[in-house]
Chain A
Amino acid sequence: MLNFTHLNAATVDEAASLLAKYNGQAKLIAGGTDLLGLLENRCLPEDKAPKYIINLKTVDGLEYIKVDGNFLKIGALAKLHDIAFDTNVLKYAPALAAAARKVASWQIRNMGTIAGNICQGTRCWYYRATDNRFDCSRKGGSTCFALTGNMREHSVFGGTKGCFAAHPSDTAPALVALGATIVTNKASYAADKFFDGFKDTVLAADEIVTEIQVPAVTDTKQAFCKAAVRGQIDFAMADVAVVLKVSGGNVSDAVIVTNCASTLPIRLTAAEDAIKGKSLTDANIEAAAAAGVAKAQTINETVTYKKAVVEGLIKRALAACK
């Protein structure tokens, strides 16, 4: 375990000012299910490892899930388990409820928070190797070791700045598909502008997610599908979230998002375009799924299989909206 100083924050403002004070040397912790592993295995180079851990569990009032006006509002510290079974989430954002329910195990869902889930770091085997065994591009080095090694867990949709690590969040694609807004102490981001394939998120060093807003509408059909080796306890091989509007038997609008097989949640616009204006027949679904993965690149044969996985999940998710 790396040595660090643990500081409890009483408010978001205090946490933000601590982040600013220890500029770049501090990290936030809430559930801890992501960060602790990184610290314990000393995965980061010394100059990039956090010296201060700022605890958000001591911040009150950020665990809410409520409907406020036209939005479903979820506090940053709401637990994944609570989101999965909340009546309003189930009503307005069933794809998000399904995604939260499919994260890891009961124990982790009881500890893990929604903000932690979308802000978590990459699980790249090389990045996470003990004692910073691979000082790769994402850490400031010059090489991506995965590219010439084993990319079983990586992106099949190309890299970001030479890094091919998959973004591991299950809830992120659901939020992007739902057109959610991520609110921080400094700004608001459309969910599809929040993620960064090279540095996880666009957050500044002293920026903290405070709330997630999802449009509270009930006129969509939604689905979230995850494929993993052992079922949900594993990080996904791929996720697909779909939000459709259907009128007169045809899809009038479609958002199809994939994650865990890409460096950040991405909209599969070719699949969206292929299904828009069409009915959800098997043939149309298959065509949309094929279009969705047409741009998949298999730069390393160990990741090729994920193309089929994403295609299969698009089919599964669209079929679930029938």
Chain B
Amino acid sequence: MYEEYNITEPYSGESYPQSIYHNLKTDELKIVGKKSLRRVDSDAKVTGKLKFGDDWCFPNQTYLKLKRSIYPHAKFTVDAASVAAAKKIPGVLDVILPEDVKGINVSNSYNAVIMQGEVFNQGDPVCAVVATEEAICDDAIEAIKINYTQLPFVLLADDAKEDKDKDGNPYAVHGDTNLAATYLQAGGKEERGDTAKGLAAADKKIEKHYATETKKNTAIRDHAGIEPWVATTVWDNGDIVVYPSTQAPYTYVSTIASALKLPRSRVRCIMGGLGTGFGRKLQCYRESILAAWYTNKTHLPCRAFVEAEGMFNAGGKQCCQHHDIKIGVKNDGTITALVDESYAGVGTTVTGVTNNSISIFDYIWKTDNIKLVSKDYWTNMPYNQALRCVQHPIPTTFMGMAMDEAAEAINMNPADFLVKNMRDESGVGAHPSYPKYDMGTNAMPDMLKELIARSGFKNKWKGWKTPMAVDGSKRRGIGIGVHACHHGALSNPESANIQVLVDGSFRLSIGSMDQGTGSRTALMAMAAEELGITFDKIKMSQLDTAHVSESRTPGGSTVTRGSGTAAILAARDAKRQLFALAIAAKLIDAKEPTELEMANNEIYVKKDPSKKVAVATVCGKMQGTHGFGPIVGYGHYATARTTLEHREWNCDVVEVEVDVDTGELKILKVWSDCDPGRAIFPEGAWSQFAGGQLLFLSLSSYEGMVKDLATGYSLNADYQNYKIATNCECPDWDLNLYECPDPYGPFGAKGICEPQSAAVSPAIANAIYNAIGVRLYTTPFTPENILEALGKA
């Protein structure tokens, strides 16, 4: 009955369910977008009552830990005598050896739950221990001896791409070559237009190499989530129930069911709170599969816990990237050609790292000639994983640095250069490689101008190599950057249901996790608005996969859009059934449900709103004699589309202070605009925006995991030595949610956080250049790298 509110996307013909209030302004809505909305789980969090993965404990609890390889590549055997000795330690219940779990792989054969005789990365598991206490696991792990035969290895992408090991000898991690994949990212082609011609026609050319690793430093990035991986598995009358810390409950169900050869119906996942996702918790981890394996065998509850060092060494990373960027510009600022040929070292198990990483440039920058090619190379490093965005932030950083250099080459104000070169098309025709596709709204042109004006950039920026201020060795500089991304949108499939209760209240269940972002509050707000009930009438349970149909893993800021659409559908379905009940029970003067609507906890006749009945009254009849049992509204949303999603925008101006004597960097002030579509839950949207900015600022300015190049050992696999930005590094924020509602997102929402945060990084880099007059070509922007750029290291 609500099909008229669906919006059809012209290119794909896809129909997007939309709220009946979609076109209202925020001040005309009752719940959605209200600044007074407060996070529904904040009380439970601050009082410590919300249960996280590590809080679950059951009678006869057992604990499982992995023993991990200390070498990046080696053959190994487990010393049998030491295993026998470990088993004798009081409290040790079992030692799981490679042969016990042969054939159980997480994804491919290089990713066995326990490695089968050969490790490819420091941190690969060589055996596991189960004990009655976690500390006893540690004692047993210490007691077990492994016989290793070390093998050649490669850490740096620059070596890997030459098919050489660290010493320059011929070597490939798997097979004959380290080249794992090549991606053509200009609309799936090697180039759009003719970049050679474009470069030839340029007045000035920039040709630079940018990298996140150097010969001195591996500098891959960890997700640095506070909550480690943990999962407790419980035997429940034949079923395996898992309580994990994960973004991916349904992946847990499918992975464990397939690993243990159980029907999916026998595996269930119950979620508590989640203390960070950031992309690192998108998979079902080896430890959890082993815990389930042990529980299935013994019927004992088993908790697998991965300490921080294990997460650093064995968990997914944002891999190293190298970018060879060429830009051709005319003196009037026109970009005649843009080339980014990039490569990455991707670890041992996962390709697809650079796929899509640079495709964003195709629709951000105005140019007729563009070439975007990327390559993945195997290395003996932790596997690559989407982490605080897929792989866009690093390319965005480097491209932003290169564009600043291009603007300098023609002596154009960098803000004017950006304004001139941002694609300003929206809707159909906005994407040069997919011209029929509706790219939705485009906030960028106006948002960028607003940011430039608000920050006073053009007054503060005094010219190339001219700092804003000099105070002894301290130089103050200002920089600007832009970012666009197509995440935060595609979300497939999503399920929701709304139970209608006899007292007129509603319980929403959704197949996606709140990762601590506040998405639960946002989804409840959308469901309540659509239902026409007050916010106090809706509750939302923690996710239990037994209660909601399979949904996509929330990652890439997709929850608001994907799950929001499912919530709206469930609300529609619940309303339709409630209206039918009201008519059948003769509680309202109408013949068809289509004549009715709900608002203020009442059902009313659309043509004569004075005719109404309280929702609670109708709900009270649910189990009466009108042929209506309990009402549950179902919503399921799945898109068939595989092409790009809508764009999301972000631009930043940053003011920094650099000490040219010591290389110390202070990020003083950040002005940032992002486009959340419509901010459904403004407080949550703001904190996602600020959190995203801080994490990307951290990524480019502080973070890097250092491997000892001689041994492949991780030297800073802990939170003291792996430096992430803390509250003390928070600059003075001036953040603006520049709302530009999307035609297809629920209530106009786009995803928030990941897609709109990376512009801070190029802005910092360009501000450093403005301050010190020397450009950086590597991240992170640490004192070490800054001093090196200054010729002092």
Q: A residues bordering B, Cβ < 8 Å?
A: 1, 3, 41-42, 125-126, 129-131, 133-134, 145, 148-150, 152, 227-235, 237, 301-302, 304-305, 307-309, 311-313, 315-316, 319
Which B residues, 779 to 793, have Cβ-Cβ distances below 8 Å to chain A?
Answer: 782-784, 787-788, 790, 792-793
Q: What 3 A-B pairs are tightest by C-beta distance, nearest first? A: A312-B661, A305-B793, A312-B662
Contacts A/B (CB < 8 Å), 10 sampled:
A125-B715, A130-B309, A145-B710, A145-B711, A150-B715, A229-B702, A230-B723, A307-B792, A308-B792, A312-B661
A150 contacts B708, C-beta separation under 8 Å: yes
Quick check: is B613 within 8 A (CB to CB) of the other chain? no
What is the distance, in angstroms, from B650's C-beta to the closest C-beta of chain A? 24
Q: Which of A134, A150, A313 has the most CB of B within 10 A?
A: A150
Quick check: is B358 within 8 A (CB to CB) of the other chain? no
Q: How far is the CA of A129 from the CA of B729 in the complex (A)?
A: 27
A125 contacts B716, C-beta separation under 8 Å: yes
Q: How far is the CA of A42 from the CA of B726 in the complex (A)?
A: 28
Q: Which of B708, B709, B726, B729 has the most CB of A within 10 A?
A: B708
Closest chain B residue to A104, Cβ basis = B720
Quick check: is B473 within 8 A (CB to CB) of the other chain? yes
Q: Find chain A residues with CB under 8 A from B728 CB.
A: 230-233
Closest chain A residue to B709, Cβ basis = A149
Set B708, B787, B793: member contacting A149, Cβ < 8 A: B708
- Report the interface size class on chain B: 35 or more
- Overall SS of chain B's interface: loop
B664 contacts A129, C-beta separation under 8 Å: no
Quick check: is B101 within 8 A (CB to CB) of the other chain? no
What is the distance, in angstroms, from A66's C-beta to the closest C-beta of chain B? 32
Q: How far is the CA of A3 from the CA of B139 in the complex (A)?
A: 9
Q: How far is the CA of A88 from the CA of B390 in the complex (A)?
A: 55
B783 contacts A227, C-beta separation under 8 Å: yes
Q: Find chain A residues with CB under 8 A from B217 CB.
A: 150, 302
Proximity string of chain B (186-225) to chain A, C-beta cutoff 8 Å, 1 when within and 0 when not: 0000000000000000000000000000001100000000
Q: How far is the CA of A6 from the CA of B561 in the complex (A)?
A: 55
A227-B783, A309-B783 known; 10 new pairs, CB 8 Å cut-off, are A42-B142, A126-B715, A130-B309, A133-B70, A145-B708, A149-B715, A150-B706, A230-B725, A312-B473, A315-B473
Q: How far is the CA of A309 from the CA of B784 in the complex (A)?
A: 9
A319 contacts B661, C-beta separation under 8 Å: no
B662 contacts A131, C-beta separation under 8 Å: no
Quick check: is B438 within 8 A (CB to CB) of the other chain? no
B782 contacts A229, C-beta separation under 8 Å: yes
Q: Find chain A residues with CB under 8 A from B664 CB.
A: 227-228
A129-B713, A130-B309, A312-B659 known; A152 and B784 CB under 8 Å? yes
B716 contacts A229, C-beta separation under 8 Å: no
Set B702, B721, B726: member contacting A125, Cβ < 8 A: B721
A319 contacts B472, C-beta separation under 8 Å: yes
Q: How far is the CA of A119 from the CA of B708 in the complex (A)?
A: 28
A237 contacts B662, C-beta separation under 8 Å: yes
Q: B residues bordering A, Cβ < 8 Å?
A: 70, 135, 138-139, 142, 216-217, 309, 472-473, 659, 661-664, 702, 706, 708-711, 713, 715-716, 720-721, 723, 725-726, 728-729, 782-784, 787-788, 790, 792-793
Q: How far is the CA of A231 from the CA of B702 in the complex (A)?
A: 11
A316 contacts B473, C-beta separation under 8 Å: yes
B216 contacts A301, C-beta separation under 8 Å: yes
Q: How far is the CA of A229 from the CA of B139 in the complex (A)?
A: 36
Closest chain B residue to A298, Cβ basis = B793
A309 contacts B715, C-beta separation under 8 Å: no
Q: How far is the CA of A75 from the CA of B53 in the complex (A)?
A: 44
What is the distance, in angstroms, from A131's C-beta to the closest C-beta of chain B? 7
What is the distance, in angstroms, from A300's C-beta to the closest C-beta of chain B? 9
What is the distance, in angstroms, from B126's C-beta to the closest C-beta of chain A? 13
Q: Find chain A residues with CB under 8 A from B793 CB.
A: 301, 304-305, 307-308
B715 contacts A316, C-beta separation under 8 Å: no
Set A129, A148, A229: member contacting B723, Cβ < 8 A: A229
Q: How far is the CA of A319 from the CA of B587 in the complex (A)?
A: 84
A152-B706, A311-B661 known; A129 and B715 CB under 8 Å? yes
Q: How far is the CA of A231 from the CA of B709 in the complex (A)?
A: 28
A131 contacts B142, C-beta separation under 8 Å: yes
Q: Find chain A residues with CB under 8 A from B662 CB.
A: 227, 237, 308-309, 312-313, 316
A305 contacts B788, C-beta separation under 8 Å: yes
What is the distance, in angstroms, from A78's C-beta to the closest C-beta of chain B? 24
What is the distance, in angstroms, from A99's C-beta to the closest C-beta of chain B? 17
Q: How far is the CA of A307 from the CA of B793 in the complex (A)?
A: 8
Q: How far is the CA of A215 from the CA of B3 in the complex (A)?
A: 85
Q: Find chain A residues with CB under 8 A from B788 CB.
A: 305
A131 contacts B663, C-beta separation under 8 Å: no
Q: How far is the CA of A231 from the CA of B728 in the complex (A)?
A: 8
What is the distance, in angstroms, from B314's C-beta to the closest C-beta of chain A? 13
What is the distance, in angstroms, from B435's C-beta to the closest C-beta of chain A? 47
Closest chain B residue to A153, Cβ basis = B721
Q: How far is the CA of A130 from the CA of B726 in the complex (A)?
A: 25
Q: Find chain B residues with CB under 8 A from A229 CB.
A: 702, 723, 782-783
B663 contacts A308, C-beta separation under 8 Å: yes
Q: How far is the CA of A313 from the CA of B472 in the complex (A)?
A: 12
What is the distance, in angstroms, from B660's C-beta to the closest C-beta of chain A? 8
Q: Find chain B residues with CB under 8 A from A125 CB.
A: 706, 715-716, 721
Q: Find chain A residues with CB under 8 A from B711 CB.
A: 145, 149
Q: How far is the CA of A315 from the CA of B659 in the complex (A)?
A: 12
Closest chain A residue to B665, Cβ basis = A229
What is the distance, in angstroms, from B284's C-beta to the closest C-beta of chain A? 26
Closest chain A residue to B784, Cβ basis = A305
Set A148, A308, A315: member contacting B710, Cβ < 8 A: A148
Q: How far is the CA of A304 from the CA of B785 in the complex (A)?
A: 11
Q: How far is the CA of A230 from the CA of B719 in the complex (A)?
A: 13
Q: How far is the CA of A313 from the CA of B716 in the complex (A)?
A: 26
Closest chain A residue to B138, Cβ basis = A1
A133 contacts B702, C-beta separation under 8 Å: no
What is the distance, in angstroms, from B614's C-beta to the closest C-beta of chain A? 54
B783 contacts A305, C-beta separation under 8 Å: yes
Set A1, A133, A301, A305: member contacting B792, Cβ < 8 A: A305
Q: How far is the CA of A311 from the CA of B720 in the complex (A)?
A: 26
A302 contacts B726, C-beta separation under 8 Å: no
Q: Find chain A residues with CB under 8 A from B138 CB.
A: 1
Q: How far is the CA of A148 from the CA of B84 in the complex (A)?
A: 38
Q: Find chain A residues with CB under 8 A from B782 CB.
A: 229
Q: Find chain B residues with CB under 8 A from A152 CB.
A: 706, 784
A230-B728, A233-B726 known; A309 and B787 CB under 8 Å? yes
B729 contacts A149, C-beta separation under 8 Å: no
Q: Find chain B residues with CB under 8 A from A145 CB.
A: 708, 710-711
What is the distance, in angstroms, from B768's C-beta to the closest C-beta of chain A? 15
Closest chain B residue to A315, Cβ basis = B661
Closest chain A residue to B787, Cβ basis = A305
Q: How far is the CA of A308 from the CA of B793 in the complex (A)?
A: 7
B721 contacts A230, C-beta separation under 8 Å: no
What is the distance, in angstroms, from A58's C-beta to the closest C-beta of chain B? 25
Set B135, B663, B729, B784: member contacting A230, Cβ < 8 A: B729
Q: Find chain B residues with CB under 8 A from A228 CB.
A: 664
What is the distance, in angstroms, from B247's C-beta to the closest C-beta of chain A? 28
Q: Find chain B residues with CB under 8 A from A130 CB.
A: 309
A230 contacts B309, C-beta separation under 8 Å: no
Q: Find chain A residues with CB under 8 A from B787 CB.
A: 305, 308-309
What is the distance, in angstroms, from B595's C-beta to the closest C-beta of chain A? 63
A1 contacts B135, C-beta separation under 8 Å: yes
Q: Find chain A residues with CB under 8 A from B726 CB.
A: 230, 233
Q: Which of B142, B216, B709, B784 has the most CB of A within 10 A?
A: B784
A150 contacts B709, C-beta separation under 8 Å: yes
What is the distance, in angstroms, from B66's C-beta to the closest C-beta of chain A? 14
Closest chain A residue to B791, Cβ basis = A308
Q: Find chain A residues with CB under 8 A from B659 CB.
A: 227, 312
Q: How far is the CA of A237 from the CA of B790 in the complex (A)?
A: 18
Q: Find chain A residues with CB under 8 A from B784 CB.
A: 152, 302, 305
Q: Find chain B residues with CB under 8 A from A230 CB.
A: 702, 723, 725-726, 728-729
Q: Find chain B residues with CB under 8 A from A305 CB.
A: 663, 783-784, 787-788, 792-793
